[in-house]
Amino acid sequence: MFADYSMSELGAIFAMQGFAGLILFSVFVLMALGLAIIFGQMGVINMAHGEFMILGAYVTYLVSNFFAAYLPALFSAYFFLAMILAFIASGALGLFVEWAMIRHLYKRPLDTLLATWGLSLILQQLYRSIFGAREVGVSIPDWMMGSMPVTDLIEIPINGIFVMVLAVGISLAVYVMMFRSGWGKQVRAINQNRVMAGAVGINTEWTDRMTYGIGCGVAGVAGSAFTMIGSTGPTAGQLYIVDTFLVVVFGGAASLLGTIASAFSISQAQSIMEFFLSGSMAKVLTLLIIVGILMIRPQGLFAMKLRK
């Protein structure tokens, strides 16, 4: 396979391939963080996660249209505002959904699967009625769509760097919130023992609502960022949901660190195998390995030690 190439060419390809793996890692982290909060910390199997992401993408679409029409001078910077609005919109929808639906289901975690799946169908149809069945084209500012030449042979996609920076930023933010803030302590307390947490004076209802809202908001930001690399349509959220659950479950549902470790290992395995094998085969092998590992370690890579 490599006989005809010089060392420098091979070096460049492998560097770019390593980078492709890192981009995939960042994409997985962005996808999974929101779900890791909701599924991992609250035990809610949120099948509508993809639709919360797509809400963020549609918000980005609206903001880009607004800037193109009214503020063309600032178009190249609209994306930052779009991400903030995506967080607010998805988060607000999350708060509402938690209040209307999820809070009645905390004692029946399996039913959340059905309820949120229904929610995802409702949201898809809502998007279809509002934005039409076709995918919408989101215009991305030019500076984000090119590539950056590092050497003569190596070119790095700028949107990839953007996604990486964003993934690191959001991971840090979530880490600080979960492990360095009072709210994080409350979330973890509720996760360990809901009744006891309530008894010591934690407002569990409020904390649950905020947790769900923040998880959905993070999904919205991810969706906003993915307009750079993927499609925006009523059913586009479905493209991400399987990978997202895979990453979270494989990492060990309750552990944020596990989510990141699992995103890293899955993305590297997949991107390396995609390079040497064909696309479908890479996917099959990745899934097989994950199934194998989960059979040996059903609790995932990183499991919290709990007294049951």
Nearest residue (CB) to other proteins, 268 versus 299: 268
Q: Within positions 129 to 158, which residues make up the interface with other proteins, using CB under 8 A?
A: 132-140, 145-147, 149, 155, 157-158
Q: Within positions 188 to 227, which residues make up the interface with other proteins, using CB under 8 A?
A: 226
| Contacting residue, 271, 286, 301, 302, with other proteins by CB under 8 A | 271
Is residue 160 at the binding interface for other proteins, with CB under 8 A as the rule? yes
> Phi/psi at 91 (nearest 5 deg)?
-60, -45
> Residue 243 CB, nearest distance to other proteins (Å)?
9
Is residue 236 at the binding interface for other proteins, with CB under 8 A as the rule? yes
Nearest residue (CB) to other proteins, 185 versus 283: 283
Is residue 233 at the binding interface for other proteins, with CB under 8 A as the rule? yes
Nearest residue (CB) to other proteins, 211 versus 270: 270
Is residue 228 at the binding interface for other proteins, with CB under 8 A as the rule? yes
Distance CA 65, CA 38 (A): 31
> Residue 10 CB, nearest distance to other proteins (Å)?
8
Q: Give the 3-state secondary structure of the chain.
A: CCCCCCHHHHHHHHHHHHHHHHHHHHHHHHHHHHHHHHHHHHCCCCCCHHHHHHHHHHHHHHHHHHHHHHCHHHHHHHHHHHHHHHHHHHHHHHHHHHHHCHHHHCCCHHHHHHHHHHHHHHHHHHHHHHHCCCCECCCCCHHHHCEEECCCCCEEEHHHHHHHHHHHHHHHHHHHHHHHCHHHHHHHHHHHCHHHHHHCCCCHHHHHHHHHHHHHHHHHHHHHHHCCCCCECCCCCHHHHHHHHHHHHHHCCCCHHHHHHHHHHHHHHHHHHHHHCCHHHHHHHHHHHHHHHHHHCCCCCCCCCCCC
> Residue 121 CB, nearest distance to other proteins (Å)?
10
> Residue 275 CB, nearest distance to other proteins (Å)?
5
Stretch that binds other proteins, among 75-83, 95-103, 246-254, 274-282 (CB under 8 A): 274-282
Is residue 50 at the binding interface for other proteins, with CB under 8 A as the rule? no
Nearest residue (CB) to other proteins, 125 versus 193: 125
Tell me which residues touch other proteins (CB under 8 A). Answer: 5, 9, 13, 16-17, 19-21, 23-24, 27, 125, 128, 132-140, 145-147, 149, 155, 157-160, 226, 228-236, 238-240, 270-271, 274-275, 278-280, 283
